[in-house]
Amino acid sequence: MEHTEFAPGLMIAGVTLPLRQRDFKLIAFDMDSTLINIECVDELADAVGRKAEVSAITEAAMQGEITDYKESLRQRVALLKGATLAQIEQIYTERLRLNPGAQELVAACKLAGMKVLLVSGGFTYFTERLRDRLGLDYTRANVLEVVAGALTGRTVDQPWGDICDGDEKRSMLLQTCTQLGIAPSQAIAVGDGANDLPMMDVVGLSVAYHAKPAVRERAMVSIESGGLDRLLELFVR
């Protein structure tokens, strides 16, 4: 997609400006490296001395070099075996930070009447805390199996399936649109990795945030410098 520079570090393609917030009823965010500053699975791996190994798989998956996201996540979760709930809590309190502009963008969208969805290939331990912290309306993520206060290296199957991959992100977004009685064209999707592309491809406005090259190329908006709230520069009230 051919992009033009709207402002320094803010690229657009196929977007008719100005955008109006009232035209959108839902915004969906990826979590890791989009809404927050870390890849939670990599930080969990650090707790058990396996960060390099897990980070390499994560990077390949986000670049789109590994096409089977579910299998890549199973491999990574297996390497987390033995991490304790105390270590996970420490990651949340000491390492996890909202990315710049995240709180401002969420607040502005909520003020404009949009619902907010968080869809993640990460874990409910983190998405549920972010939901409560930011007042998010919907979340979907993977559940880590815990026995005796430590991870078993497996995820727990959910009614919707086993692992939240790109197809599940798209499915959850479309399901939420149906629930709200809106068209996908009235939704915004924000992400940074290859597993965000399925949901970004079906919405009215796709936004890449400091994203991998393949994601920047296909997004309608690419935020390449500054915070998430730079998206608001494209909107009028």
Residues involved in catalysis: 30, 32
Helices (H) and strands (E) in the chain, counts: 9, 11
Phi, psi of 64 (to 5 degrees): 90, 10
The Cα–Cα gap between 174 and 223 comes to: 24
Question: Buried b vs exposed e over 81-108: b needs ≥16 C-beta within 10 Å?
Answer: eebeeebbeebbeeebebbebbbbbbeb
* Structure tokens belonging to residue 14: 């196929």
Comparing CA positions, the residue from 120, 118, 123 lying closest to residue 105 is 118
Instruction: Label the pairing between strands 19-20 and 221-223.
Output: unpaired
Is residue 192 within 8 A of residue 182, CB to CB? The reply is no
Task: Give the pairing of strands 26-29 and 138-147.
Answer: unpaired
Assigned token pair, 181: 């009685």
What is the DSSP code string of 117-167?
A: EEEEEEEHHHHHHHHHHHT-SEEEEEEEEEETTEEEEEEEPBTTBS---HH
Spatial separation of the C-alpha atoms in residues 38 and 95, rounded to whole Å: 8
